[in-house]
Structure 1
């Protein structure tokens, strides 16, 4: 029994390292009931992103701001803001066959960036959309 128990006790803490990404939170039914999705999708403000580009953006963003990133307890409000995905805008374009460029740029309207000089934020990724890997990063 001890021969089985000891290896099991050593392996169990390692299981904590294999976490799945968090699932999106859904609103309670009473909040969802107040939202009406129109039959005709609005054309004003609509953005259409093909699946390949979307996946390239997701891959680059996951590398740039991983979902499980932990902020230091003494993080400044600016640092906290720059560690939220909604504080960025993204541009994507094909570079060559099988490669998509993804540029992650701080949104100047977020985080009071206009009042703080930010020089080392943002990155451009070259993503291989055939093998789904990052080929290069320019920060």
Structure 2
């Protein structure tokens, strides 16, 4: 019993090293009350994305821009912009059996900081949608 307690005291501080992904932020009740969710989705802009494609996109994005990635405080504005997921567009398409291709492409309208065009950013992933592994990455 004494050794179990000692082991617990030694390993408990190590638990702080394991971070869980952040949970999404929810609006206040007052703000939520101002938004009415329609019974049917609007026709304009309506898209249906299959679950396998959503999961493949999430897997690629989690690899490309990990949620716990931090930038130095003195990072240039372009790097700050490119560290945000909303700065990218995503194209996805089914490949051969069990493979999904996911391209992560910077949107030049989002990160326009007045410099030359962004050419060396983005990646294309081959995702195994059976075992949920990254098969290959082309940057």
TM-score (norm 2): 0.92
Contact 2:108–2:117, Cα closer than 8 Å, also in 1: no
For 2:133 and 2:35, the matched residues in 1 are separated by: 38
1:133 maps to which residue? 133
Evaluate the alpha carbon distance shift between residue 3 and residue 55 of structure 1 in structure 2; reply closer, same or farther with a 3 A threshold.
same
For 1:92 and 1:13, the matched residues in 2 are separated by: 41
1:55 maps to which residue? 55
1:94 maps to which residue? 94
Contact 1:108–1:114, Cα closer than 8 Å, also in 2: no
1:115 maps to which residue? 115
What is the CA RMSD across the aligned residues, in angstroms?
1.7
For 2:117 and 2:108, the matched residues in 1 are separated by: 11
Paired residues in the alignment total 139
TM-score (norm 1): 0.92
TM-superposed CA distance for 1:70, in Å, is 1.1
Evaluate the alpha carbon distance shift between residue 125 and residue 114 of structure 1 in structure 2; reply closer, same or farther with a 3 A threshold.
farther
TM-superposed CA distance for 1:47, in Å, is 1.3
Query: Any unmatched runs of 5+ in structure 2?
Result: none
Q: Which moved more, 1:52-61 or 1:110-119?
A: 110-119
Contact 2:102–2:126, Cα closer than 8 Å, also in 1: yes
TM-superposed CA distance for 1:76, in Å, is 1.1
Contact 1:101–1:127, Cα closer than 8 Å, also in 2: yes
Evaluate the alpha carbon distance shift between residue 114 and residue 101 of structure 1 in structure 2; reply closer, same or farther with a 3 A threshold.
farther
Q: Which moved more, 1:121-130 or 1:8-17?
A: 8-17
Alignment of 1:26-65 (within 5 A): 26-65=26-65
Query: Any unmatched runs of 5+ in structure 1?
Result: none
